[in-house]
Chains A and B, each alone.
Chain A
Amino acid sequence: MEHIVFGIGITALTGALATVAGSAEDTESNIGSQGDPNSQVQLAPQMGFLHRIFNKAVAGEPPAYGLWCALGAGLAWAFMAMQVNAILAIVLGCILAVFVQGVYATTAYLGRTASLAKFGQPVYVDIIKSMTTVTMAHAFIAIFCTVALCQLINGALGHPFPLPLLALIWGVALGAAGSATGNPYYGKERQYQNQKFGAGVPISASGNIVRYAEAGERNSIDNGFFTHKIGGSASGVCFGLIVFLELWRTILFERIYAGWGAIAVGVLMILIFTVIDRYIEVWARKNYGPYTVAKEADA
């Protein structure tokens, strides 16, 4: 019993860490225009819309976060093997991983922007200086939380995988959850604030991203500020739910019927999420209504 109570406590803690990680990850990638919305930041100068948005295309978010988290964990593992205290080791490992992230971010911005010289897009040194540090700060939070939750899973809950491999797995999952949930909100809602609300961006408008702010010119910190409110929080909830429910069902129900208990609970939760999803979909159809009158013959 005590064992289960301990497990539940650790599970709650990992869930909380994962929520913070997901939120920080999405904000970081939105400030850096990483992931799929990057295509628009890259396209804009080619359509004649020069901008002052940070354009750091390191890779898709899942592989990039797979690396940052695995690297933080690998370094933390190495420091722990050198008899450094675990918390200090994780902090040191994450600092070095963030250093790598920052260097990758600057080279990605410089490389992409220099290759757009033909369209007159200038390199802004102040963007490198101010945005990189902000993304590094958010990345540190995301990496630290992920590595810490992997250390808890490995050390306290006894998962067989070594720390770096666990961090690779959860880093990729973090990037996948964060990019899936957060990208549309940044890509549609923020980059195309000038387009109609409640509708997708027409393909003909591609590249015409918003470049001016309430006062002056929009920069990427404004984007992080905006998207954090819904996209970032939703990404945090998404990754938090994934980690928490995965651990929770295993810790509480794995012992029932030799593992089948946890499976049954998992199936039940998938069904619950299916019902919620269907409810959201129907709610939207009913309340927002169709864009055009139904035409059955439309191909």
Chain B
Amino acid sequence: MSVKIEVIAGGVPHDKIMIAGLVSTLVCIYLTYLNAFTNTEVFSFFGGLAVVAALIWGSHTIKVLCSYGIGTGVPSAGMIAFGSGVIAMLLATKFGMLAPIVAVVLAAVIGLILGYVSNNILNMKIPAMVQALTEMAVVGALTVMGFAAMITGGFTFTGLTTSTASFLGFPITSYANSFLGGGLIAVAFLLGAIAIQHPFNACLGPGWKQDRMLMLTAECGFLSMIVAAVMSFALISAGSALISLLVAIIGWAYTYSQFFEMSKRDAAAWLDSKPIPDTEGQ
């Protein structure tokens, strides 16, 4: 007796969200490249904004896919998205400046094939499957790349595998203390994988509203950005990390309060310390 998922049409169409999400994510990731031009790290917070944009797109894709009832839980969709996305993202980081574009193309190819595999070989026959898995692999790759850019200040393979710390005044290169060497990629992986599926998982039901779900996605994105900003203190300068943290906290506080407002708007009643209402019909 699982919960019946009902779809409510209306709201912003999915194609529009997809295009807006893709463009704004790419723009935000490229804005972190200003770090390399200006030789600072203050633009790292754009990586976090890219994460928020990608997640908004991805959570709507999950909604499109899971409305069909795929037989297993919503969270598994997030897992396959990031499982395929993280591999594409790491290969893409080898292409320097072109990395985000390569990540999109590569992840799309992987997602397309995985979609074909599930739909045809596994005989799932879900119309949205191929497109949804393609989109989610791209979202997964871009989200992890956004986190990487935010935590390390760049998205090149060298930047992700090394860090420079100064020891007694001498700069030394450390491989263990890096995004990849320290295993922070595992944290970025799960932060994204939970944040992408949570909004739909939390808002499903007959009263599903698009704006409430997307606001929750933005909230999850900013929340993940807060903790990513704290982690970035270890790898980028304190001032730059502080900027990321401030942006994240402001964004989170706004979206969280907005989500409360929207829940208040949609809820049947908003009660404090009240008993169960007597309206039940049994």
Please list the residues of chain A having a beta carbon within 8 angstroms of any beta carbon in chain B: 39-40, 42-43, 46, 48-52, 57-60, 63-64, 66-67, 70-71, 73-75, 77-79, 81-82, 96-97, 100, 103-104, 107-108, 110-126, 161-168, 203, 206-207, 211, 216-217
Residues of B within 8 A of A79 (CB): 234
- Let me know if A114 and B266 touch, CB within 8 A: yes
B274 touches A122 (CB 8 A): yes
B239-282 interface bits toward A, Cβ cutoff 8 Å, 1 = contact, 0 = none? 00000000000000000100110111011111111111101111
Bound complex: CA A113 to CA B271 (Å): 12
Q: Is the CB of B3 within 8 A of A114?
A: no
8 shortest A-B CB distances, which residue pairs?
A115-B205, A162-B183, A74-B187, A111-B202, A122-B269, A78-B234, A81-B234, A164-B183
Distance from A288 Cβ to chain B, minimum over Cβ atoms (Å):
26
Q: Which residues of A contact B224 (CB under 8 A)?
A: 100
**A121 in contact with B271 given A67-B190, A67-B194, A107-B202 (CB within 8 Å):** no
Q: A82 with B233: in contact, given A67-B191, A100-B223, A165-B186 (CB under 8 Å)?
A: yes
Contacts of B194 in A (CB 8 A): 58-59, 63-64, 67, 104
Q: Which residue of A lies closest to B213 (CB)?
A: A111
B1 in contact (CB, < 8 A): yes
Interface pair A42/B3, CB less than 8 Å apart: yes
Q: Does B207 sit at the interface, judged by CB under 8 A?
A: yes
Asked if B79 CB lies within 8 Å of chain A CBs, one says: yes
Return the chain B residue nearest A76 by Cβ. Answer: B231
Q: Are B268 and A120 within 8 A (Cβ)?
A: yes
B161 interfacial by beta-carbon distance below 8 Å: no
Apart from A71-B190, A125-B271, what are 16 other A-B pairs with CB-CB below 8 Å?
A42-B205, A50-B276, A58-B194, A58-B202, A59-B74, A77-B231, A81-B235, A82-B234, A108-B198, A111-B203, A115-B204, A118-B206, A122-B270, A126-B272, A162-B182, A217-B275
Contact in complex: A59, B198 (CB < 8 Å):
yes
Q: Is the CB of B199 within 8 A of A168?
A: no
A residues in contact with B274, CB < 8 Å: 122, 124
Query: Does residue B197 face the partner (Cβ distance < 8 Å to A)?
Result: yes
Asked whether any CB of chain A lies closer than 8 Å to the CB of B35, the reply is no
In the bound complex, do residue A78 and residue B231 qualify as a contact, i.e. CB atoms below 8 Å apart? yes
Give the distance to chain A from B282, nearest Cβ to Cβ, in Å. 5
Task: Please determine whether A107 and B216 come into contact, CB atoms closer than 8 angstroms.
Answer: yes
Q: How far is the CA of A203 from the CA of B78 in the complex (A)?
A: 30
The A interface is mostly helix, strand or loop, or mixed, namely: helix
Contact A116 B277 (CB under 8 A): no
Q: Which of B78, B187, B220, B263 contacts A114 (CB 8 A)?
A: B263
CB distance from A8 to the nearest CB of B (A): 27
Assembly CA distance A163 to B185 (angstroms) = 11
CB-CB nearest in chain B for A169: B186
With A67-B194, A107-B219: A117-B266 Cβ-Cβ less than 8 Å: yes
Structural contact, B263 and A110, CB atoms closer than 8 A? yes
Q: How far apart are B131's CB and chain A's nearest CB, in angstroms?
A: 24
Q: Cβ of B227 and Cβ of A39 under 8 Å apart?
A: no
**B3 adjacent to A39 (CB under 8 Å):** yes
Q: Are A115 and B276 also in contact (CB < 8 A) when A108-B198, A162-B182 are?
A: no
Q: Which residue of A lies closest to B273 (CB)?
A: A126
* A77 partner residues in chain B, CB cutoff 8 A: 182-184, 231, 234
In contact, B231 and A74 (Cβ under 8 angstroms): yes
For A161, the chain B residues whose CB sits under 8 A away are 183
The reply to whether B280 and A96 contact each other, CB–CB distance below 8 Å, is no
Q: Smallest CB-CB separation from A205: which chain B residue?
A: B1
- Collect the chain B residues with CB atoms within 8 Å of residue A165's CB: 183, 186
Docked pose: A230 CA to B167 CA in angstroms = 52
Does the CB pair A164–B198 fall under 8 Å? no
B171-227 residues with Cβ-Cβ distance < 8 A to A are: 176-177, 181-184, 186-187, 189-191, 193-194, 197-199, 201-209, 212-213, 216, 219-220, 223-224, 226-227
In the complex, how many angstroms separate the beta carbon of A63 from the nearest chain B beta carbon? 5
A115 and B207 within 8 A (CB): yes
Q: Looking across the interface, which residue of chain A has its beta carbon closest to that of B270?
A: A123
Chain A residues with CB under 8 Å of B262's CB are 114
Shortest beta-carbon distance from A122 to chain B in Å: 4
Would you call B183 and A103 a contact (CB within 8 A)? no
Is A81 within 8 A of B269, CB to CB?
A: no
Per the bound structure, the CA–CA distance linking A82 and B241 in Å amounts to 13
Cβ-defined partner of A111 (8 Å) among B78, B212, B223, B232: B212
